[in-house]
């Protein structure tokens, strides 16, 4: 699917402009403290011309046999900020809030259709499960959005947790 840069895109957001829009697809999850699972997901990146994108993601657990939704899962929302440091290269900050009671600040770099970020800070409510940190990798691969999320939580070191392939929604 052809992607056109919005005319009012802030110049600093160029290195992550490919992420704009709605993405949908399926992924897999695993962690040493839980059983593996499959999920469906929708990511939405929007902008209003200022130097950030609003981000929202929702997911649901799916039955591996039928692909049907079994139950709702994670929701996260936040802001992706980028400061262009060279042609197509940017320093990135992602501020996230989760329905599970976590807030995270990620920092990293974007270049060439790839965004790589790690946690700089994690905050949690009294009822949230303990998460010490994370690492996220997003990439534009053959026009799809692929990502991997590694998590340090529940006394486990940084470990692969989620990975998915999402397609740009039509329209």
Residues flagged as binding site for heme b: 33, 129, 161
**CA 138, CA 42: separation in Å to the nearest integer?**
14
Specify binding-site residues: 33, 129, 161
Helix, strand or coil for residue 62? strand
**CA 45-68-75 angle, 5° bins:** 35
Judged on CB neighbours under 10 Å (0-12, 13-18, 19+), 106 is: buried
Plot region of 155 (φ>0 → left; ψ -120 to 50 → alpha; else → beta) = left
**CA 95, CA 139: separation in Å to the nearest integer?**
19
Per the document, the length of the chain is 171
């Amino acid at each position: 699917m052809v992607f056109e840069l919005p005319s009012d895109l802030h110049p600093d957001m160029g290195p992550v402009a490919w992420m704009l829009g709605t993405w949908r697809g399926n992924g897999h999850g695993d962690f040493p403290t839980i059983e593996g699972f499959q999920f469906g997901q929708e990511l939405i990146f929007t902008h209003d011309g200022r130097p950030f994108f609003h981000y929202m993601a929702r997911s649901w657990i799916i039955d591996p046999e039928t692909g049907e939704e079994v139950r709702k899962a994670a929701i996260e929302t936040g802001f992706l900020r980028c400061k262009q440091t060279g042609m197509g290269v940017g320093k990135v900050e992602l501020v996230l809030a989760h329905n599970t009671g976590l807030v995270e600040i990620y920092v990293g770099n974007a270049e060439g259709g790839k965004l790589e970020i790690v946690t700089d800070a994690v905050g949690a409510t009294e009822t949230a499960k303990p998460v010490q940190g994370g690492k996220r990798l997003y990439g534009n691969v053959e026009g799809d959005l692929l990502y991997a999320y590694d998590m340090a939580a529940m006394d486990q070191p940084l470990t692969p947790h989620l990975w998915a392939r999402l397609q740009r929604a039509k329209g």
